[in-house]
């Protein structure tokens, strides 16, 4: 749709409507878009027909006034007259006016996407609808939301940032929709047990693309891991090698080994530690299990410099016992590692919370 938007906006004023936020079940994800031209032509879809007519009416008003608007749609009884979603969810739609002035930014966005570079389009959710292209590694401060926006870009996940509490005397932060163009970071979980199921849910909530891989066909099923984006029946170490060779592992990839079985653990950990691009390699187990596993890894020829990368026993000290509690402790360690944070209680630290 980007190519079509560039063409239409270059010819004259159009209204762009995008889903910027969702709650509960919904027909489309943030970033879903619809274009309405001055002549009334409609391209794209936001909800499969539930709210399109209302959005088209908002688009006409935006084209007439030039001021962007936000529409929110919640649940509506399918037998009633109210405009809304019958699936029970809620969506927020932002509608703005575009024209030839926005074509250079859209063209630059197209070039970044074509080059394979992760990029995000940040949009202020107010009447001005100000835009900013964001790329990884940028140091430019933009309305004090750049840090949160770049975190979404790093995770490969679109979302809304800003408009939260600020430090004393700080300026209010605007709400900004960050639409990310690029693959999300991956979380690869070796194993097929309750801990994997819990971590797959948490990982997906954090925006990771979650893969569960286990060689046992009986246990590695999509029905047992509904939160995973994909469930693969294969030996985890062989799967990692295949994905690395195919270029599907990068510097954001997280690998957690939760198998509790030496014949899986040792080759999977050894393979993961040998792939320098992997950002985080962790293995679940007791201290005794960790000590015995480390000796087996040494015997398998894994160098000490490689072993230093291994996070084991995996997770922060939360006294976690259940699979869900353990998933939180693991996710917290991953977030702290990703953000180069201390993982210490905030009430025992000084300085700004958001660095």
Are 54 and 166 within one domain? no
Residue 354 belongs to some domain of the structure? no
Residues 90 and 123 in one domain: no
SS3 per residue for 193-217: CHHHHHHHHHHHHCCCEEEEEECCC
What is the domain range of residue 116?
103-181
Q: Does residue 159 sit in helix, strand or coil? A: strand
Query: Given 34, 67, 100, which residue is the final one in a domain?
Result: 100
Tokens 């919904």 sit at which residue? 26
Is there a single domain that holds both residue 35 and residue 146?
Answer: no
Is there a single domain that holds both residue 74 and residue 169? no
Q: Of the candidates 100, 129, 164, which is a domain's last residue?
A: 100
- Name 39's Cβ contacts closer than 8 Å, sequence gap at least 6: none
- Return phi, psi of residue 331, to 5°: -60, -40
Q: Tens digits of per-residue pLDDT, 62-116?
A: 999 999 999 988 755 444 434 444 445 788 999 999 999 999 999 999 998 888 7
Residues 237 and 205 in one domain: yes
The dihedral sign for the CA sequence 268, 274, 279, 280: positive
Neighbours of 109 (CB within 10 A): 20
H/E stretch holding 167 reads none
- Say how many domains are in the chain: 3
Q: Tokens for 98?
A: 């575009």
Q: Tell me: do 201 and 160 sit in the same domain.
A: no
Half-sphere exposure of 337 (CA within 13 A, CB side): 21
Omega prior to 313 cis, within 30 of 0: yes
In a shared domain, residues 146 and 219:
no
Domain match, 334 and 205 both = yes
Listed residue (275, 254, 277, 255) closest to 265, CA to CA? 255
Indicate if 108 and 59 belong to the same structural domain. no
Which is more confidently placed, 257 or 260? 257
Boundary of a domain, candidates 74, 100, 126: 100
Q: Is there a single domain that holds both residue 14 and residue 31?
A: yes
Per-residue pLDDT reduced to its tens digit, 144-175: 888 888 888 888 889 999 875 454 445 678 99
Q: Are residues 201 and 146 in the same domain?
A: no
């Amino acid at each position: 749709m980007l190519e079509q938007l560039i063409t239409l906006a270059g010819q004259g004023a159009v209204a762009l409507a995008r889903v910027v936020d969702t709650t509960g079940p919904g027909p489309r994800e943030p970033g879903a878009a619809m274009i309405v031209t001055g002549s009334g032509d409609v391209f794209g879809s936001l909800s499969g027909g539930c709210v399109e007519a209302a959005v088209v009416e908002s688009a006409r008003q935006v084209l007439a006034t030039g001021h962007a608007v936000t529409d929110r749609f919640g649940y509506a009884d399918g037998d009633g007259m109210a405009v809304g979603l019958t699936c029970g969810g809620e969506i927020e739609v932002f509608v703005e006016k575009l024209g030839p002035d926005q074509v250079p930014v859209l063209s630059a966005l197209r070039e970044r996407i074509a080059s394979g570079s992760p990029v995000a389009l940040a949009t202020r959710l107010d009447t001005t609808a100000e835009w900013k292209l964001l790329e990884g590694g940028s140091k430019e401060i933009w309305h004090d939301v750049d840090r949160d926006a770049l975190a979404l870009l790093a995770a490969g996940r679109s979302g809304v940032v800003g408009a939260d509490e600020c430090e004393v005397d700080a300026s209010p932060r605007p709400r900004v929709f960050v639409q990310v163009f690029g693959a999300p970071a991956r979380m690869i979980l070796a194993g097929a047990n309750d801990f994997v199921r819990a971590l797959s849910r948490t990982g997906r909530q954090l925006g990771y693309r979650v893969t569960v891989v286990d060689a046992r066909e009986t246990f590695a099923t999509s029905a047992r891991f509904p939160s995973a984006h994909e469930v693969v029946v294969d030996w985890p170490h062989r799967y990692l090698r295949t994905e690395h060779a195919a270029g599907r592992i990068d510097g954001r990839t997280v690998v957690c080994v939760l198998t509790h079985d030496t014949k899986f653990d040792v080759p999977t950990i050894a393979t993961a530690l040998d792939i320098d691009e992997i950002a985080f390699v962790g293995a679940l187990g007791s201290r005794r299990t960790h000590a015995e596993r480390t000796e087996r890894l040494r015997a398998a020829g894994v160098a000490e410099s490689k072993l230093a990368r291994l996070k084991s026993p995996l997770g922060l000290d939360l006294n976690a016992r259940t699979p869900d509690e353990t998933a939180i402790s693991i996710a917290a360690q991953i977030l702290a590692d990703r953000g180069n944070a201390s993982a210490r209680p905030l009430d025992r630290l000084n300085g700004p919370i958001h660095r």
